[in-house]
Amino acid sequence: MRSRFDEQLVLLNKKMIEMGAQCEELIALVADSLLNSDIESAKKAKSQGHEIDRMEREIESICLKLLLQQQPVARDLRVISAALKMITDMERIGDQAEDIAEIIPFLNGKTGAEFDDFKLMAEATCKMVTDSIDAYVKQDIELAKAVLEHDDVVDDAFGRMKDILIKMISEKKADGEYAVDLLMIAKYFERIGDHATNIAEWVEFSVTGVHKGA
Amino acid sequence: MRKKIFHSIFTVALVVLLASIGIATSFLYDHFNNSQQVQLKEELRIVTDTVNNIGIEYLENFNSSVFRFTVVDADGTVIYDTQVNADEMENHADREEIIEAFESGEGSSVRNSSTLTEKTFYEAVLLENGNVLRASANQITVGALVIGMLPAIFVIIFIAVIVAFFLSLTMAKQVTKPITNLDLEHPVDNVAYEELAPILTKLHKQHKQIKKQTKSIRRKSEEFDQIVGSINEGLVLLDEHAMVLSMNQAAKKIFGVNKDVKGDDFLLYDRTSKTSKAICDALEGKHSEYTEERNGSVYQFTVNAIESSGKVLGVIILVFDVTDHAFAERNRQEFTANVTHELKTPLQSIIGSAELLETGLVKEEDKNKFIGNIRKEAIRLVTLINDIIRLSQLDENHKSATETVDLMTVVNEVVEVLDSAASKKNVALNVEGESCTIFGVKQYIYEIIYNLCDNAIRYNVDGGKVTIKISNKSGSPEISVIDTGIGIAPEHHNRIFERFYRVDKSHSKETGGTGLGLSIVKHAVQYHKAKVSLDSEVGRGTTVVIKF
């Protein structure tokens, strides 16, 4: 019975890493196709998003089965409950990356790369997602904390980006549709950053048993 | 062990105890029976004599708790009894001993009482008056005797348990001590039970065998580690559950690991979907190959199944660093594009001029200018082709005849050739140093110096200076070309030795040159196993030093 439990925990960990890697690749793909205005690769985002949704359901059922059949306690319970929370965040990251990918064709070949803060947001968000997954894989609290700190970079860049766009619209320098699209993408990046932060917090919880929000 | 000893001691004790009780009881019981019977007979004889003499009245005074006397007349009626009133007793004519006594004068019998705990011995004698006198005595039966002894037996069993327990404890200790103290590392050195000797010898042999095998396995695995560790390609072996069996140093570097990874899930170190899929495929026996970029290098992954008799035992991942290859591929593509462009430009110019001349659109006085143009472009084409030929010669690494070359002589030759070009650009040419000889190919050394000086003049400023310095510090000849020209920005330093690479991207004809000069220098320098170093700053000038 126990060895089966351990096997299932190993499987859970494996699936979590796989799902994390999927998110990582999706956000990298979306950021890449956004900055290079590559509509073809943006189209691939949808199927990858579906794959992430499927993995979420799979992991969810593994977790529930473990909770019901094995009634884990202490660390195991923490790992499983943290996994349940993390997949929600991962799934949200996937959805929002998909949303960005949907906007790309409407940018008409523009990339937003002319704004340093926009580029910074795209790159910093990708790094946050990668680092949060890395923190999970290596169970590295230091890296998780670094992700939490990195969130401020994305938030600040979003604030600056917003100001720039407001200024542009008010001075009638920019095409309104383009500006709004950029603002939405920037907001999605900011949200993805928040989800990566959540993942990092849950990593910390599953290792130490203390959640930041508590 | 102790339990077993305890059981056997206890069983032996119990069996001995019960057997001795049984035997003793039966012997003693028989003995008592006999003596009682004898006593009863004796008593009866005495009483019979007395009754024959005195008459039945004697019995009235007889008082005994052990013996009981009864007188029965010929028809079996009880006349007298010493313990019970004779009138209340039933007829005794059918009693065995009475019948016997009437028949033969004497009779005896034994009867159990109704409760089975007692039995009664009877002895009867025919009196002189024709009556029968019977004596009887009670005795307890064996069963009752044993039941009476039970508490004592239990006490003894209890004591036997305790004694067996302690005895087994000490015995087990004593018996097992030599066994537990066996030195299993050196089985044959033990002095223990001789019954163990064959086992110990066998153990010793197996010990030796295992040691030998372990040693050979370790040697093999060390050999494997050595070989795998020293190769530059990353090598990872996974078992059938994708757990890492071994990962060599190169692979650790590629995947960014710096600890022992044996037994870990490979997913921890590479979670890209390409790799996951490749491993999944390999576990199904499929081969896959893909390239991936990691930390600025390009790697080619080859993932294969390790199979034995149709069963997949694991996965082998080979990672090659193909950065140089990819770089070379890019260079080759650029070279082809460049060379065609460079060859085409002068030809287009020639064709254009020739067409204009052919159609007679050129005025008579301009004809010479156009023909001169054609000649100039043709010369440019020849120069370019010559450069390419020289480069390809150097590429093929032809062994050319080496000789003693005086650097100063070569420099002077170059200066002579370039003098006019220098004065045209108003650049002063200076030669410093003294004659110094090296062993090499004169043609190539000429190319080196010519191309460096040519560039130094070509990319100089009006009124600039070019200094060619030859030095021979402690036996290592060195030639430096120092100019005061436009200089090269740092981002180009790495690439100016590439073929057709131009700092000025427009490939402008203004400065001339084929874009192959420094490439030829690089190859010629490599041919001589010399080293070229570049020091340049935009606006200040360039210094190229070649150390032989």
Phi, psi of B82 (to 5 degrees): -80, -15
Residues in A closer than 8 angstroms to B272, CB to CB, are 21, 25
pLDDT value of position B511? 61
With CB atoms and an 8 Å threshold, state whether A20 touches B267. Answer: no
pLDDT value of position B510? 58
| Per-domain boundaries in chain A | 2-208
With CB atoms and an 8 Å threshold, state whether A21 touches B273. Answer: yes
Stretch among A9-18, A152-161, B325-334 having the lowest mean pLDDT = B325-334
Average pLDDT over residues B52-63: 77
pLDDT value of position B157? 83
Q: Please check whether residue A10 touches B, CB under 8 A.
A: yes
Q: Which of residues 86-125 of A touch B (CB under 8 A)?
A: none
Q: Please check whether residue A7 touches B, CB under 8 A.
A: no
Evaluate if residue B255 carries a pLDDT over 90.
no
Stretch among B103-112, B199-208, B392-401, B445-454 having the lowest mean pLDDT = B392-401
pLDDT value of position B211? 93
Of B166, B160, B502, nearest in space to B338 by CA: B502
3-state DSSP of B463-492: CCEEEEEEEEECCEEEEEEEECCCCCCHHH
Evaluate if residue B220 carries a pLDDT over 90.
yes
Q: A25 to chain B nearest CA, in Å? A: 8
With CB atoms and an 8 Å threshold, state whether B276 touches A21. Answer: yes
Residue bearing the bigger pLDDT, B115 or A79:
A79
Average pLDDT over residues A55-74: 88
Contact B251, B236 (CB under 8 A): yes
Evaluate if residue B266 carries a pLDDT over 80.
yes
Average pLDDT over residues A47-73: 89
Token pair recorded at residue A87: 């997949």
Nearest neighbour of A25 by CB, restricted to B265, B267, B272: B272
With CB atoms and an 8 Å threshold, state whether A18 touches B271. Answer: yes
Q: Please check whether residue A25 touches B, CB under 8 A.
A: yes
Place of tokens 């542009």: A168
Q: Do the bridges between strand B428-433 and strand B437-440 make them parallel or antiparallel, or are there none, so unpaired? A: unpaired
Evaluate if residue B172 carries a pLDDT over 90.
no
Average pLDDT over residues A72-98: 88
Q: Least CA distance to B270: which residue of chain A? A: A21
Residues in A closer than 8 angstroms to B276, CB to CB, are 18, 21
Q: Please check whether residue A139 touches B, CB under 8 A.
A: no
Evaluate if residue B82 carries a pLDDT over 90.
no
The topology (CATH level 3) of A2-208 is: Methane Monooxygenase Hydroxylase; Chain G, domain 1 (1.20.58)
pLDDT value of position B215? 95
Residues in A closer than 8 angstroms to B259, CB to CB, are none
Q: B241 to chain A nearest CA, in Å? A: 11
pLDDT value of position B115? 67
With CB atoms and an 8 Å threshold, state whether B265 touches A138. Answer: no
pLDDT value of position B529? 84
Q: Do the bridges between strand B288-294 and strand B244-247 make them parallel or antiparallel, or are there none, so unpaired? A: unpaired
Evaluate if residue A212 carries a pLDDT over 70.
yes
With CB atoms and an 8 Å threshold, state whether A20 touches B271. Answer: yes
pLDDT value of position B209? 94
Best of B239, B255, B271 to mutate (most A CBs within 10 Å, chain A) = B271
Average pLDDT over residues B488-513: 73
Stretch among A189-193, B116-120, B255-259 having the lowest mean pLDDT = B116-120
Evaluate if residue B506 carries a pLDDT over 70.
no
| Residue A84: C-alpha distances to residues A23, A90, B157, B325, B544 (Å) | 16, 10, 67, 45, 64
Average pLDDT over residues B63-92: 80
With CB atoms and an 8 Å threshold, state whether B273 touches A25. Answer: yes
Share of chain B above pLDDT 90, in %: 3
Average pLDDT over residues A30-54: 85
Contact A183, A115 (CB under 8 A): no
pLDDT band at A56 (very low <50, low <70, confident <90, very high): very high
